[in-house]
Amino acid sequence: MIAANCFSQLFRQHRSRGNFFGEFSKVTVMNNSRLAQDTFVFRQFFDKESWTYTYLLADYVAKEAIIIDPVLEQVNRDHSILKRLGLNLLYCANTHVHADHVTGTGELKKLIPTCESIISLCSGAQADKYVKSGDEIQFGRYSVEVRQTPGHTNGCITFVCHDEAIALTGDCLLIGGCGRTDFQEGDPETLYSSVHEQIFSLPDYYKVYPAHDYTGQTVSTIGEEKTYNPRLTKSLDEFIEVMNNLNLAYPKKIEESDQLSLGSKYTLPLPIIIIMAIGAMCYLLCVAYICFGKDKIDEDKSLYAALRKQQEQSCKIQTSIVEHL
Ligand SMILES: N[C@@H](CCC(=O)N[C@@H](CSS)C(=O)NCC(=O)O)C(=O)O
């Protein structure tokens, strides 16, 4: 038993250890499949419209998977890759509510109803599971640790997979950059301490995978970012000055993505909400029509009565004139 534990410790260290630039060897397990797969599956997908990276992490032996930051327009791509690899998607997690694209979580949940959505407790969005710092999300023999890294938004989280020495930093830490802090709940001081305390505290060889890159890069390491990131190597005051003067255009989908629902079990689908709203409007119109219609009939009745009275009176006058003559 003790020997088995020592072996598993050594195996873990061997997989994770690496140098400053994140190079580390990997054990590849050959199984009966014609496609030789590492037991740990890691895929980085790109959406060219929003410059967004989506990540798939899975245990190929247990066939359990997690998707991070899926994009609505790419749901079919993600779904067919899951099918091709025969993976069971346990979770759709989002590093935050994105201002530049709509999440594919709701659509993936429709295709795979057993999959659960995950978002930070501080995001204000709806999901099946809410997470906070220290939580672990398990898939097969692997897991990711949740670290709250607010500053770009209050609900930003970084997922760290210690088994593979990787950090999925969302929009908090980008390669040679960081998330903007000029809208939603952005705050440069908070972002600065999130990066320094929660991300830069990881070992230098951990790989950094962000939610976006606008320069064609795909991966970095903690060591590189700590040494070369032009924003995060500055002092706090200099950083705040830089962040307050980025002058970036607003993302096109900011309003659409603000209405985010991650397909929680407890929310109604949008078409049902629209039908209910139309139904309520029709009901109000009917009530208004009936009330106004009734008033009009009452009005007509009293007018008719007054006319009849007037007619009767003029008849009486005419009769008395004739009698008089
Ligand atoms: N440079 C981008 C600008 C798009 C943008 O605003 N990206 C966000 C993340 S999505 S809300 C961001 O935080 N950017 C930080 C940055 O320094 O770019 C473009 O060319 O469209």
Kindly state the helix (H) or strand (E) to which residue 190 belongs, with its residue range.
helix 188-193
Nearest-angstrom CA–CA distance, 52 and 71: 8
The CB of 35 under 6 Å from ligand 1? The reply is: no
List the Cα angle 39/147/115 in 5-degree steps: 55
CA 287 to centroid of ligand 1, rounded, Å: 50
pLDDT at 110: 98
pTM recorded for the entire structure: 0.75
Q: Across-strand partners of 53?
A: 46
Averaged pLDDT in 10-residue chunks for the chain of 325 residues: 42 42 43 66 97 98 98 98 98 95 97 98 97 98 98 98 98 98 95 98 98 98 98 98 96 70 54 68 74 57 61 58 51
Nearest-angstrom CA–CA distance, 64 and 140: 5
3-state secondary structure at position 89: strand
pLDDT at 8: 44
pLDDT at 277: 74
pLDDT at 253: 80
Can you read off the two tokens belonging to residue 196? Answer: 């320094």
The CB of 177 under 6 Å from ligand 1? The reply is: yes
pLDDT at 305: 65
For ligand 1, atom 19, which residue shows the shortest CA distance? Answer: 214
pLDDT at 318: 56
CA 46 to centroid of ligand 1, rounded, Å: 15
ipTM: 0.95
For ligand 1, atom 5, which residue shows the shortest CA distance? Answer: 251
Are 95 and 173 in contact, with CB atoms under 8 Å apart? Answer: no
pLDDT at 284: 81
Nearest-angstrom CA–CA distance, 123 and 230: 28
Closest-CA residue to 218 (of 55, 94, 15): 55
Mutation choice for ligand 1 from 180, 225, 255, CB with most ligand atoms inside 8 A: 180
CA 141, 142, 148, 154 dihedral sign is negative
The CB of 258 under 6 Å from ligand 1? The reply is: no
The CB of 203 under 6 Å from ligand 1? The reply is: no
Question: Token match 């709701």: residue?
Answer: 106
